[in-house]
Amino acid sequence: MSRKVVRLTLDHLDELTAPCRSCVFWQLDPVRRGRVDDPADEVDAWVSAVLRDWGSCGRVVLVDGEPKGFALYAPEAFLPGAASFPTAPVSADAVLLTQVYVAPDSRRGGLGRMLVQGMARDLIERGGIKAVEAFGDTRGDVGWDTSHAPRDHPRGSRCVASVEFLGSVGFKTHRPHARTPRMRMDLRSALTWRDEVEAALEKLIGVVRPTPKPSTERPTRSMRTLRHPRRREL
């Protein structure tokens, strides 16, 4: 099974079946959300605009070539929906991570962590960005339960990552709140954390991989001849 993280494109959006595929909670303010006829088209337009004005704004994780999850992120200026959280605004030196989604049949396999790592790697390579922030949900991973939607959400689907997940991938509470604390991951720490994870993985592979045993076979005459051939006199 192959797994890899790639840049989000409009083609990937067409292949995703996540409930948040047609969610415009983050991309539009409450007034404009009430006037939307086709949310999926609005998401496509938003991605196109951010790609043009800022650059890559998402990552997709592929399993055997099939999209199984994605993450969206951008400066807060591109995300009017962030203003509805009581712990807003986002810090001036940070990019906002909005949605992290993994298909139900592929969860608990590290794909969410891969998406966050891909995002961090992208932002580190760009330079000039110090941190990533996200609004977390203290009620845990309750799926797409409409009763746990943020205030003013247009369709009721939940699109806020759990505090538990954010904490597991390197975020720390930056501004506390009973339900939606604002969490932060310093990109310098993310780089160190990524290197530590990769080093631990290499060490684990080294432990699991069997060590080749030295050969006890005595060399034959022909083998000795090949190793130390006699010099032929001219």
Say if residue 52's pLDDT is above 90: yes
For residue 198, tell me if it sits in a domain: yes
pLDDT at 141: 58
pLDDT band at 111 (very low <50, low <70, confident <90, very high): very high
Residues in the chain: 234
Domain that holds residue 56: 3-208
Mean pLDDT across 49-72? 94
For residue 193, tell me if it sits in a domain: yes
Instruction: Look over the chain and give the mean of its residue pLDDT values, rounded to a whole number.
Output: 80
CATH number at residue 157: 3.40.630.30
The number of domains in the chain is 1
For residue 219, tell me if it sits in a domain: no
What angle in degrees, to the nearest 10, is found between the helix axes of 187-208 and 111-126? 130
What confidence tens digit (pLDDT) does each residue in 140-195 have? 754 433 333 444 443 334 578 999 999 999 999 999 999 999 999 999 876 665 55
Mean pLDDT across 59-88? 95
For residue 32, tell me if it sits in a domain: yes
For residue 71, tell me if it sits in a domain: yes
Do residues 150 and 33 touch, judged by C-beta distance below 8 A?
no
End-to-end CA distance of the chain: 60
**pTM listed for this prediction:** 0.76
In the sheet with 182-186, reading across from the earlier edge strand, the strands are: 3-7, 58-63, 66-74, 94-102, 131-135, 182-186, 172-175
C-alpha angle with apex 43: 63 to 175, nearest 5 degrees? 85
Which of 14-18, 60-64, 194-198 is modeled with the greatest confidence?
60-64
pLDDT at 206: 52
**DSSP notation for 174-190:** EE--SS--EEEEEHHHH
For residue 139, tell me if it sits in a domain: yes
| Rounded Cα–Cα distance for residues 149 and 222 (Å) | 78
For residue 233, tell me if it sits in a domain: no
For residue 15, tell me if it sits in a domain: yes
